[in-house]
Chain A
Amino acid sequence: MGLFNRGQSQEDKLQTETIKSELAALESRLDNFLAKLNDRVDLLIAGFIAEAPAVMATDDRFGQAYYRFSSGIKGQATNMREKVREVMETQIEPAYSRYADILSAGTDAYRLVHDWRHRCAEKANDWEDQLQHRMDTATEQVERKDYEPIFQDMVNQYMQQCKSVHCTQCGDNLQIAQVYYHSAYVNCPSCNTQNIFEPGVIARDLEQNARKLAEQRSKHFMDAHEQKRAEEEELYQQMHTLQLKMSFQELQAKSGPLYTQLLALNQQRVAAEDEIPVQLDKYYRNIFDELNGLLPDLKEHHEKFFISLQNNYQRHDSKRSINL
């Protein structure tokens, strides 16, 4: 065995070099493949942003054509995602297995193959995350509307239209002064006849748009909620990094400058963590306060709806258990 040691190690080296160049070639093909796909993502997103307004302009009030268009765009993103997964399954993973099966753990070659697989998987994951992020941003951009004027115009238009609604019996004006969300029996102020009043599509869509407006007016609380969440995560990571720097003794003794720093970070982290549900609560409470202002006749329902929602999101409240 000793006799061949030198020879074997050279052979090992040679083998490592061969593997290295083969894997590098595959990795570079992966890079090219992802870059080419990114060009298509650029085209897809640019086309989506350019054409969506035209689709929306001629759409019906349910936005059915836009829904089909955006589903189709998302379908293309899914198709590209599946292409990447297929490449990972049919090109990257088999190459990894081919070597991982014959190399012994702990050798340079094994580590090389292992790192390579990890790197390729990271690239694919990053590519997917990027794609998702870009699709989300584009969708948000395309669908963004200012609901302040939209809602106000709807109310004005409805009230204007109601001025020409007359009693089927005596022909007098029905003097409709409130929003009806659906058809209702409306009494004629002149002859006392019950009319079946159809409020029209604007009134029927009003509740939905009020909700959008209330969400828009409450967005700063949602932003604060997400901000606190990110802050907590960041502080948690900082604590983790600091703990790695600390020696076992320091951690055991629970004292020293680093430990003090750790406690301070945790205090900040707990403060941020406590704010996460507080801000979420403010967000929902504000939505319903706004809704009560916009559609006061639905207040009783809004309050029950709020409690039901609150029960649900509070069920998902969770805090980290950290023992320092």
Chain B
Amino acid sequence: MSQNNPLFEPIHGISLFDYSAANAKLANGVGVDTICAALGVEIPVWEDASQGWTQRMQEDSDFIVITQMGTYFAQAGEHPKLGGLQAAGGAGNAANLQRLASDRYFYEELCGARTAAYEAGMDGAQWIQTNYGISLGDFQEVAMQWMQIQSSLSDEEILEYTNYMDAKRQEYARKFADENGGNIADDVDF
């Protein structure tokens, strides 16, 4: 990789891997104090470094920093200092998380459900947390893992998954609408 690229220089000793894994953990509900303690810094140092990484991504017209951040985000669990950190609420539902990472259809179903939840005026991330015990950070980490293998799939496979997700989105949209008294135009027929 671009080891010699100044865009990848750690900021206050916080590398892009540290920054990416920390963000995955923050999205999982791990407190910023816990992250800082694990990285061995105080909050002003972490925040100064965070601002620096955000700025580098904005200054990088080739998107190499943000692309690499996505890769690291998917590897958050392997981070030597941060990998094992869990939110105060616990690790969530390990069986569902395992299934999300191994069963593409299950992953697509939850993607569809999440979109449907937002389109129904609900918080999709919270819906997944409540119903499946999967936190946003874990969900995104798995999403990145699926994205990494996307290029090895055939067009037919990709289409199959996309269609599956859309069918699930519609199924959940119906369910969420029914829970709230229906859609505005349900009674308008051709």
Are the chains A and B members of one assembly? yes
Q: Does A43 contact B (CB under 8 A)?
A: yes
Chain A residue at minimal CB-CB distance from B185: A40
Q: Does A142 contact B (CB under 8 A)?
A: no
- Bound state CA distance, A30 and B188, in angstroms? 12
Q: Does B119 contact A (CB under 8 A)?
A: yes
In contact, B44 and A308 (Cβ under 8 angstroms): no
In contact, B118 and A71 (Cβ under 8 angstroms): yes
Chain A residue at minimal CB-CB distance from B51: A182
Please tell me which one of the listed residues B44, B120, B122, B173 contacts residue A196 in the complex, with CB atoms under 8 A apart.
B44
- Bound state CA distance, A235 and B83, in angstroms? 60
In contact, A68 and B185 (Cβ under 8 angstroms): no
Binds A, one of B23-31, B54-62, B151-159: B54-62
Q: Does A116 contact B (CB under 8 A)?
A: no
In contact, B51 and A309 (Cβ under 8 angstroms): no
Most chain A Cβ neighbours within 10 Å, of B47, B51, B118, B190: B190
- Bound state CA distance, A68 and B124, in angstroms? 9
In contact, A308 and B42 (Cβ under 8 angstroms): no
| Chain A residue contacts of B121, Cβ below 8 A | 68-69, 71-73, 75
Chain B residue at minimal CB-CB distance from A184: B44
> A-facing mask of B115-141, CB < 8 A → 1, else 0?
000111111000000000000000000
Please tell me which one of the listed residues A72, A80, A182, A312 contacts residue B61 in the complex, with CB atoms under 8 A apart.
A312
Chain A residues within 8 Å of chain B by Cβ, number: 38
- Bound state CA distance, A73 and B173, in angstroms? 13
Q: Does A99 contact B (CB under 8 A)?
A: no
Q: Does A83 contact B (CB under 8 A)?
A: yes
Q: Does B148 contact A (CB under 8 A)?
A: no
Smallest CB separation, B71 vs chain A (Å): 21
Q: Does B67 contact A (CB under 8 A)?
A: no
Please tell me which one of the listed residues A75, A91, A182, A305 contacts residue B119 in the complex, with CB atoms under 8 A apart.
A75
- Bound state CA distance, A243 and B118, in angstroms? 49
| Chain A residue contacts of B118, Cβ below 8 A | 68, 71, 75
Q: Does B103 contact A (CB under 8 A)?
A: no
In contact, A182 and B185 (Cβ under 8 angstroms): no
Chain B residue at minimal CB-CB distance from A72: B121
Smallest CB separation, A85 vs chain B (Å): 12
Whether A301 touches B43, Cβ cut-off 8 Å, given contacts A33-B190, A308-B61, is no
- Bound state CA distance, A307 and B60, in angstroms? 9
- Bound state CA distance, A257 and B48, in angstroms? 67
Q: Does B96 contact A (CB under 8 A)?
A: no
- Bound state CA distance, A82 and B174, in angstroms? 12
Q: Does B50 contact A (CB under 8 A)?
A: yes
Smallest CB separation, B44 vs chain A (Å): 5
Q: Does B95 contact A (CB under 8 A)?
A: no
Smallest CB separation, A88 vs chain B (Å): 10
| Chain A residue contacts of B184, Cβ below 8 A | 40, 43-44, 76, 79-80
- Bound state CA distance, A36 and B51, in angstroms? 51
| Chain B residue contacts of A9, Cβ below 8 A | none
In contact, A308 and B188 (Cβ under 8 angstroms): no
Please tell me which one of the listed residues A83, A184, A312 contacts residue B188 in the complex, with CB atoms under 8 A apart.
A83
Q: Does A254 contact B (CB under 8 A)?
A: no
Q: What are 16 inter-chain pairs, A to B, with CB distance below 8 A?
A: A29-B190, A37-B185, A40-B184, A40-B188, A72-B120, A72-B121, A73-B121, A76-B185, A79-B184, A181-B51, A301-B58, A305-B59, A307-B61, A308-B60, A308-B61, A309-B61
Known contacts A184-B44, A304-B58, then 8 further A-B pairs from the complex at CB < 8 Å, ordered by chain A residue: A40-B188, A68-B121, A71-B118, A71-B121, A73-B121, A75-B173, A76-B184, A196-B43
Nearest 9 pairs between A and B by C-beta?
Answer: A72-B121, A75-B119, A311-B61, A182-B47, A308-B61, A304-B59, A40-B185, A183-B44, A305-B58
